[in-house]
A and B are shown apart, each in its own frame.
Chain A
């Protein structure tokens, strides 16, 4: 823009403007603690700054995910603990029922208790956590099984699906966190089939068939091992979740440091700069104000 000012005044005003601009920036850095607030503050760091923020946002969500999965896996692990206890009870009852002195009536009574245990087993398969049926595989809005003791077998066909869901580790890898109910309780391998094992004991007791009872008892150790293996799976999942949370925390700390390096102001330096600039400003204004505006004309008589 065209002005009427002389060159010296233009230079003075231009310098004063720079000083004022520096004061504004120093005050902003002190007030906000941030060095980079707009793109021209330090263009060279923007790509890294945006990327670091994106990474932090990702890790924050991963942490949140791990907390939710922690709840789910803990629930599953706790359920498996219960399942193991239930099966141990079935084994104890089967052993009792096989003893000398048991009659058809006593065995019938024990069969009733085993029926209750079987019903509880089937309900365990429908355990829910955070709005999801955790043993129904990917079909997590549906109960895995229904029970009806008028039917043979008393449990329905598996209504869930395979469990393909995996959890995302902060390092980008994934790990399995779920097993479907059919694999846990209604395994295709009869030697690992919990429901079939319990039902075979129940049926043997109902008809007072000692041979069938002893045959059912022979396979129970393997089923127990299977249940412990499933517990081990969820224990491993818990460990992986803990590891993921630890990794995420460490990465968050590192990224937080990196982010601070990009955008945080050195407040001490900003304060010193502000003091220097304010001194400069005052000096410039004072000198200009004191500059004599007289000429020879003022002294002519």
Chain B
């Protein structure tokens, strides 16, 4: 009788264990699309069975096992970070193409061509005031297009700075959330096996990795420690050390723990990509545009300075002016000259076209690093195009690598509906079998009780 009762008890335990297992399957299926969720498997442990020693066997519940693979998770975070940097740069650089147009007669190049054409026309009629006026207007057009290009680069740079600020805010928000998760984990040891909390933790870490260069270490208590750039402490236990964005005359800076400048170690993630654009790439384009504006203006001014105006006098006021502090391209303007002030005659030959010939010839002169002005503009536009092309290619490559890493991770931890269905059927059959066993044991017990009456 005692063994029958033990068998009944064991069967009841088995039914409970199977119910728990079914709940694990239910939880997996419910979280099929939950970001960061890793499928769980029940741990069913056979109890000791030795009839001679009175051990009646059965099963006991051993908890759940998380299928998450830390190596696969780390690989995904790493690729997220790299992809984030490349994709963000590609998106930002696409906006920059408009600042340096390459269409016929468009932008700075088109304006420069038209000015040189005006100088060439003046070689035929250097004393025609209408043609001189046209030249002045085209000079103003050149200055205008330089201003527009510089302002667009500046606007883009400002927009990128705003993006950096939003990204820093988002990173800090994620850091704070990680801190809250760590607090929960520390508060309750069972939280380490809480699939929902773990899903939240890993989703947050993955999103953080897309935004910045984050190194994650899992501590013994199950909390996550995060270091930015592998060095700067960001989150540890219930401590959170937010980063800050600072604008200095030297440029934008990311400040980490204790105000340390961590800009140099943030190289990947959207933040790394944006910072590289803001601090290196865009200033490079701006410097090239300024170089072109300076060389163009100085060359024209110096040529005019060597000639005579319509009155036979050396010019007193240059044609172009700019402010190197505010930026040559942005501040390039034409002084308020009159048509007769243009010095188109050579010294010693007033009224002639000697200086107009020199000015017209500047269109073909390799006056800037071995390039003509038009060709140099082409190199600046080419820099933008190359950077964009390169970042698009890089984004594609990184996307492919990320997909590979995600596929590998999915093999370990993604919920597979077919697998869950098979498991469920298995548990269902087992439950039915145990139920049938209980029914049989009950009948046997009734029989024994009947004998005792």
Footprint of B on A, CB under 8 Å? 1-2, 4, 6-8, 10-11, 14, 18, 36-44, 46-51, 53-55, 57-58, 60-62, 64-65, 68-69, 72, 130-132, 137-141, 161-162, 164-168, 172, 174, 295-297, 300
Is the C-beta of B379 less than 8 angstroms from some C-beta in chain A?
Answer: yes
- Chain A residues in 8 Å Cβ range of B113: 53-54, 57-58
Q: Given A38-B97, A39-B100, A46-B102, are A140 and B117 neighbors across the interface (CB < 8 Å)?
A: no
Q: Given A14-B399, A172-B364, are A46 and B406 neighbors across the interface (CB < 8 Å)?
A: no
Q: Given A6-B414, A57-B117, A297-B421, are A167 and B206 neighbors across the interface (CB < 8 Å)?
A: no
Min distance, Cβ A36 to any Cβ of chain B, angstroms: 7
Min distance, Cβ A117 to any Cβ of chain B, angstroms: 30
Identity of the chain B residue whose Cβ is nearest the Cβ of A10 in the assembled complex: B403
- Bits for B384-421, please: 1 = Cβ < 8 Å to A, else 0: 11101100100010011011101101100010011011
Min distance, Cβ B138 to any Cβ of chain A, angstroms: 12
Question: How far, in whole Å, are A130 and B116 apart by their CA atoms in the complex?
Answer: 21
- Bits for B351-386, please: 1 = Cβ < 8 Å to A, else 0: 111100100110110000001111111110111111
Identity of the chain A residue whose Cβ is nearest the Cβ of B411 in the assembled complex: A7
Asked if A58 contacts B127 (CB within 8 A), the reply is no
Question: How far, in whole Å, are A47 and B383 apart by their CA atoms in the complex?
Answer: 10
Q: Given A39-B381, A43-B382, are A165 and B210 neighbors across the interface (CB < 8 Å)?
A: no
Asked if B385 contacts A54 (CB within 8 A), the reply is no
Asked if A36 contacts B120 (CB within 8 A), the reply is no
- Chain B residues in 8 Å Cβ range of A168: 120, 123, 357, 360-361
Q: Given A37-B103, A131-B128, are A58 and B385 neighbors across the interface (CB < 8 Å)?
A: no
Of B121, B210, B353, the residue contacting A166 (CB under 8 A) is B353
Of B120, B383, B406, the residue contacting A58 (CB under 8 A) is B120
Is the C-beta of B4 less than 8 angstroms from some C-beta in chain A?
Answer: no
Q: How many A-B residue pairs have C-beta atoms within 8 angstroms? Tell me.
A: 196
Of A48, A50, A296, the residue contacting B109 (CB under 8 A) is A50
- Chain A residues in 8 Å Cβ range of B103: 37
Asked if B403 contacts A11 (CB within 8 A), the reply is yes
- Chain A residues in 8 Å Cβ range of B104: 53
Question: How far, in whole Å, are A139 and B125 apart by their CA atoms in the complex?
Answer: 11
Asked if B388 contacts A130 (CB within 8 A), the reply is no
Question: How far, in whole Å, are A276 and B117 apart by their CA atoms in the complex?
Answer: 45
Identity of the chain B residue whose Cβ is nearest the Cβ of A7 in the assembled complex: B406
Identity of the chain A residue whose Cβ is nearest the Cβ of B125 in the assembled complex: A132
Asked if B123 contacts A65 (CB within 8 A), the reply is yes
Is the C-beta of B345 less than 8 angstroms from some C-beta in chain A?
Answer: yes
Q: Given A50-B109, A162-B349, A174-B357, are A40 and B33 neighbors across the interface (CB < 8 Å)?
A: no
Is the C-beta of B223 less than 8 angstroms from some C-beta in chain A?
Answer: no
Q: Given A8-B407, A39-B100, A295-B417, are A46 and B117 neighbors across the interface (CB < 8 Å)?
A: no
Q: Given A39-B382, A58-B364, A69-B124, are A2 and B210 neighbors across the interface (CB < 8 Å)?
A: yes
- Bits for B247-272, please: 1 = Cβ < 8 Å to A, else 0: 00000000000000000000000000
Q: Given A69-B124, A138-B349, A297-B417, are A50 and B207 neighbors across the interface (CB < 8 Å)?
A: no
Asked if A57 contacts B114 (CB within 8 A), the reply is yes
A-B contact pairs, 16 of them (CB 8 A): A10-B403, A10-B406, A37-B103, A38-B102, A40-B386, A44-B382, A47-B371, A48-B375, A48-B378, A54-B374, A57-B114, A58-B113, A68-B125, A72-B124, A131-B125, A166-B123
Asked if A38 contacts B385 (CB within 8 A), the reply is yes
Asked if A300 contacts B421 (CB within 8 A), the reply is yes
Question: How far, in whole Å, are A119 and B123 apart by their CA atoms in the complex?
Answer: 32
Footprint of A on B, CB under 8 Å? 29, 33, 35, 94, 97, 100, 102-104, 109, 112-114, 116-117, 120-121, 123-128, 203, 206-207, 210, 345-346, 349-354, 357, 360-361, 363-364, 371-379, 381-386, 388-389, 392, 396, 399-400, 402-404, 406-407, 409-410, 414, 417-418, 420-422, 424-425
Residue with the greatest number of chain A CB neighbours at <10 A, chosen from B102, B128, B206: B102
- Chain B residues in 8 Å Cβ range of A164: 345-346, 349, 352-354
Q: Given A6-B414, A51-B375, A172-B361, are A36 and B102 neighbors across the interface (CB < 8 Å)?
A: yes
Min distance, Cβ A168 to any Cβ of chain B, angstroms: 5
Asked if A167 contacts B35 (CB within 8 A), the reply is no
- Chain B residues in 8 Å Cβ range of A10: 399, 402-403, 406
Asked if B375 contacts A50 (CB within 8 A), the reply is yes
Identity of the chain B residue whose Cβ is nearest the Cβ of A3 in the assembled complex: B35
Question: How far, in whole Å, are A293 and B403 apart by their CA atoms in the complex?
Answer: 21
Min distance, Cβ B237 to any Cβ of chain A, angstroms: 25
Min distance, Cβ A57 to any Cβ of chain B, angstroms: 4
Asked if B410 contacts A7 (CB within 8 A), the reply is yes
Q: Rank and list the top 4 A-B pairs by shortest CB-CB distance, nearest first.
A: A138-B351, A39-B385, A50-B378, A43-B385
- Chain B residues in 8 Å Cβ range of A14: 396, 399-400, 403
- Chain B residues in 8 Å Cβ range of A161: 350-351
Of A39, A72, A296, the residue contacting B102 (CB under 8 A) is A39
Question: How far, in whole Å, are A273 and B348 apart by their CA atoms in the complex?
Answer: 63
Asked if A138 contacts B378 (CB within 8 A), the reply is no
- Chain A residues in 8 Å Cβ range of B425: 300
Question: How far, in whole Å, are A275 and B371 apart by their CA atoms in the complex?
Answer: 41
Asked if B386 contacts A141 (CB within 8 A), the reply is no
Residue with the greatest number of chain B CB neighbours at <10 A, chosen from A8, A51, A54: A54
Question: How far, in whole Å, are A7 and B385 apart by their CA atoms in the complex?
Answer: 30
Identity of the chain A residue whose Cβ is nearest the Cβ of B395 in the assembled complex: A14
Asked if B417 contacts A296 (CB within 8 A), the reply is yes
Q: Given A7-B406, A53-B374, A297-B421, are A2 and B385 neighbors across the interface (CB < 8 Å)?
A: no
Min distance, Cβ B432 to any Cβ of chain A, angstroms: 13
- Chain A residues in 8 Å Cβ range of B109: 50, 53-54
Identity of the chain A residue whose Cβ is nearest the Cβ of B376 in the assembled complex: A47
- Chain B residues in 8 Å Cβ range of A39: 97, 100, 102, 381-382, 384-385, 388
Question: How far, in whole Å, are A42 and B378 apart by their CA atoms in the complex?
Answer: 11
